[in-house]
Every structure is written in structure tokens, then in C-alpha cells.
Chains A and B, each alone.
Chain A
Amino acid sequence: MAFFDFLQQYWPRLLSGTGITLAQFLLAAVLGIAISLAMGLMKLSHNAVVRGAAVTYIEVFRGTSLVVQLYWIFFVLPLFGLSIEKFTAGYLAVGMNIGAYGAELVRGGILSVPKGQWEAALAINMSPAQRMRRIILPQALVNMLPPWGNLMIELLKGTALVSLISVADLMFEAKQINATTFLSAQVFGAALVIYYVLARFMVTPFMRWLEHYMARKLGRV
């Protein structure tokens, strides 16, 4: 079957899969950013217990595979009475995984803010919370945005794994179409191109724009 006939017949399913992929991506991104911030700050805490909790979280999620985490959340948590719907389990696993990687970026970003900024904030009598929110985090954010761009691409690719627990994302639809039609080159080729377009023409330009926007906000252009 020619490629265009194929697309004509199957585009609605590919499109709905892409929609689910984007939803998973956005939800996992929000969750991942929140976790990154919390764990990154906790790892810098002076309290050994708080720091220990963050280190444990980061090492466990970075030390095991996303597939393992996904299966564990979806198949094992119900045994403890915590049944999670597959769509939720999907972005939960991807977001928690990315959060562990993001936490290191947050930590690095905060440490890269010059010491004088901390001292200046202290000198004008800011509380630790004010200092973090108004002085340190905005500058840390600008410093860590470039590696976040790569992490967001990893996140998008990570969402393809939710197909393993039957969330009907792009990867899942491609697999299903392949199983019924055996038009492997067409369907997997189309899915590859869609993922590439999402990464290259949506995620990357957005992150670039965000970098410029934040840098301008801080008067760094």
C-alpha cells in the first residue's frame, strides 16, 4: 500500500495517539518540574534527614530503569491497595523518573548562582524563602534552562513507554495498526516522523524561546 493511501486510512488513529502522547508529555512535565524543584532544594538542605530523603529518591529513580518503575507503579502498587488507572500511572512514572534527573539540574543551577547574590540578599534582610524565590531561583533557572531542553526531549521519548501498560498513545496506536495490517515500514515510519516533528519543531523551539525570554527578563541579553 502506498504511503499516502496508508495515511489517508489511518490518520485519525495516529492523530488521537499523538493527542494522548502530548497529554502524557504535558502532565509528566508539570509533575517532573515540581518534583525536580522539591528534590533539588531538599538535596541542598542543611537537615540530614531531608537531604537523605532527596538523595534516596534521586538514586532510586536514576538507578533503575523507567520500564521497571512503570511496571512497579502499575502492577505492584495495587497489591498495597493503591490502584492507579493506567493513564495516571503512565504520566506518574514518567514524571517521577524525569523529576530525579531534573533535581540534579536544579541543584546545579542553584549552586551556580554566585555567592555574592546570597550575601546581598542576606544583607537586605530577606527571609530564606524570599531570598530563594526572588534572588536565587530566577538566576538559577536561566543557568539551567539549556540542559532542561535535552531533558524535555528525553521526557517526550519516555512517554512512548506508557504504551507498555496499554495507554493508547502514539506508540500504542502504531503497534496496534502494525499488528492488524503488517504495514510496518509505513506505520512505524509515520510514528517516527511524528515524534521527530514534535521534538524538533515544538519542544526544542519552545525551550529556545523560553531561554531567550528568561534571559531578557533578567536583563542578560
Chain B
Amino acid sequence: MFDWKWDFTWEILPRLVQATGNTLLAALIGYVIAVVLGLILALAQRTPYSALTLIVREMVEFIRSTPLILQIFFVFYVGPQFGVRLSPWTSGMIAIGLHYACYLSEVYRGGIESVPKGQWEAATALNMTVAQKYRRVIIPQAIPPALAGMGNYLVGIFKDTPMLSVIGVAELIHTANAIGSENYRFLEPYTMVGIIFLAISLPAAGMIRLFEGYVRRKLGL
């Protein structure tokens, strides 16, 4: 490329690598929140209380059909209006974790519904409590069919972390913006960010596929 400056690229690389660490950290924390909260949201839709099911369902639908970037703004700015000041990291993790929890709750729901009815009946016949049924019989069987979806959303959350730049989380895009406006050069930082994203998400997607196959083989599926 005619205008590409390699010395500038090398100069900004350490900052980008550091920002990559922040991006990965944000994705990881967000994902852990989503995995746990998603399970709670999925199970909350399976209680005998139909009102609770309805409320959780509508909430999940609402969050899934509105933009994450707007939710990030909402969490970050609405707190101070009521005297609660959240740091960019905290509000970012709440927003992204909640958003993906809703997606993952659907994945779990599909997994739980794929467990044959006979398994529930067998667990009842063994006089298991509800908690035992879920922990020992249902969830272990619901996880393998849910793994593909869970993996996709791990990569998805990674690719959505750039939205955190809007409230000032120093991830990759935020750093690239800063480098670009300091040096009036946007070609190298934005291109490098694109390459870093590719270099992480493509192998990650491949590894998730391998892991999924491994788990299925382990469980004899």
C-alpha cells in the first residue's frame, strides 16, 4: 500500500497490544456475567409462576431487540441522574453482560427443552428434588446441544466490545481513535485493529468448534 508507514505501525503496536488485553478482559468479564445471569434468566422462565415467566420473557425480548450501544449509554448516564455514579468499566460490563445474558438464556432454553421428557420422569421416579433434577440430570444433558450457541456468543461479545469505547473504556477502538487523532493518521491504527480482531476471532471460532466436538465425543454423542 502506497501510504503505509511501517515505522509508525511498530511505534503504535505496544499500545494496541495493551488495548487488546483490555478488550479481551472486557469480553471475558462480560461473558462470565452473561453465562451466569443467562442461566438464571432461563431457569426463571421455568418456574410454576406464569407471571414471572411472562415478565422475564418480555424483558429478554426487549433487551434482545434494542441496540447494545443504546443500552450502554442508558446504564452509564441514567445512574448519575439518580445519584449512582458507575465507572465506565462497571456500567459497560453491566450492559454487555445483561445484553448477552438474554441471548444466552435463549440458548439455554433451547438446550433444556431438547432434554427428552423421559429424563424428567426418571428423575421424578428417583425422588429427586427440583434442584437435584436440574443439577444432576437436566443441565448436564442440556449443555452439549447449547455449546455451539454459547461459543458463537463468546466470539460475538468479543466483537461487540468496541461499543464500550463510547463511554471511554480504553479498549482497541478507543485506543485507535486516540492514536489517530494524536498523529492525524488513521490508516495504520484502524487497519491494525481490524487485523487484531481477525487474528483472534478466526482461531477462536475454530477452537470452539474443536472443543464442541471434543465434548460431544466425551459424552458419547
Q: Which residues of A contact B (CB under 8 A)?
A: 59-60, 62-69, 71-72, 75-76, 79, 153, 156-158, 160-161, 163-164, 171, 174-175, 178, 182-185, 188-189, 191-192, 195-196, 199-200, 204
**Nearest CB of chain A from residue B5's CB, rounded to whole Å:** 12
Instruction: Please give, as numbers and ranges, the residues of chain B lying within 8 Å of A174 by CB-CB distance.
Output: 70, 73
Instruction: Please give, as numbers and ranges, the residues of chain B lying within 8 Å of A75 by CB-CB distance.
Output: 180, 186, 190
Q: Are A153 and B65 in contact (CB-based, < 8 A)? A: yes
Q: Are A68 and B65 in contact (CB-based, < 8 A)? A: no
A–B complex contacts, Cβ < 8 Å, 28 sampled: A59-B198, A62-B201, A63-B197, A63-B202, A64-B197, A65-B160, A67-B163, A67-B173, A68-B194, A76-B187, A79-B186, A153-B65, A157-B66, A157-B68, A160-B67, A160-B70, A161-B163, A171-B69, A182-B81, A183-B81, A185-B78, A188-B77, A191-B70, A192-B62, A192-B74, A195-B66, A199-B65, A199-B66
Question: Which residue on A lies nearest to B65, using beta carbons?
Answer: A199
Q: Are A63 and B61 in contact (CB-based, < 8 A)? A: no
Q: How distant is the Cα of A189 from the Cα of B3 in the complex, in angstroms?
A: 45
B166 at the interface (CB under 8 A from A): yes
Q: Are A188 and B173 in contact (CB-based, < 8 A)? A: no
Instruction: Please give, as numbers and ranges, the residues of chain B lying within 8 Å of A200 by CB-CB distance.
Output: 61, 65
Give the 10 A-B residue pairs with the shortest CB-CB distance, closest first. A160-B67, A184-B77, A199-B65, A67-B162, A188-B74, A64-B197, A157-B67, A65-B159, A75-B186, A195-B66
Contacts of B66-95 to chain A: CB distance below 8 A: 66-71, 73-74, 77-78, 80-82
**Nearest CB of chain B from residue A184's CB, rounded to whole Å:** 4
Instruction: Please give, as numbers and ranges, the residues of chain B lying within 8 Å of A164 by CB-CB distance.
Output: 69, 166
Question: Which residue on B lies nearest to A59, using beta carbons?
Answer: B202
Q: How distant is the Cα of A104 from the Cα of B65 in the complex, in angstroms?
A: 22
Which of A67, A196, A199 is close to B165, meaning CB atoms less than 8 Å apart? A67
Q: Are A184 and B198 in contact (CB-based, < 8 A)? A: no
**Nearest CB of chain B from residue A143's CB, rounded to whole Å:** 19
**Nearest CB of chain B from residue A201's CB, rounded to whole Å:** 10
Asked, given contacts A157-B65, A182-B81, A184-B74, whether A65 binds B190 with beta carbons under 8 Å apart, the answer is no
Q: Are A184 and B78 in contact (CB-based, < 8 A)? A: yes
Q: Are A178 and B73 in contact (CB-based, < 8 A)? A: yes
B191 at the interface (CB under 8 A from A): yes
Asked, given contacts A76-B187, A178-B77, A192-B74, whether A64 binds B198 with beta carbons under 8 Å apart, the answer is yes
Question: Which residue on A lies nearest to B199, using beta carbons?
Answer: A63
Q: How distant is the Cα of A196 from the Cα of B159 in the complex, in angstroms?
A: 23
Asked, given contacts A64-B194, A79-B186, whether A195 binds B202 with beta carbons under 8 Å apart, the answer is no
B133 at the interface (CB under 8 A from A): no
Instruction: Please give, as numbers and ranges, the residues of chain B lying within 8 Å of A156 by CB-CB distance.
Output: 65, 67
B169 at the interface (CB under 8 A from A): no
Question: Which residue on B lies nearest to A79, using beta carbons?
Answer: B187
B109 at the interface (CB under 8 A from A): no
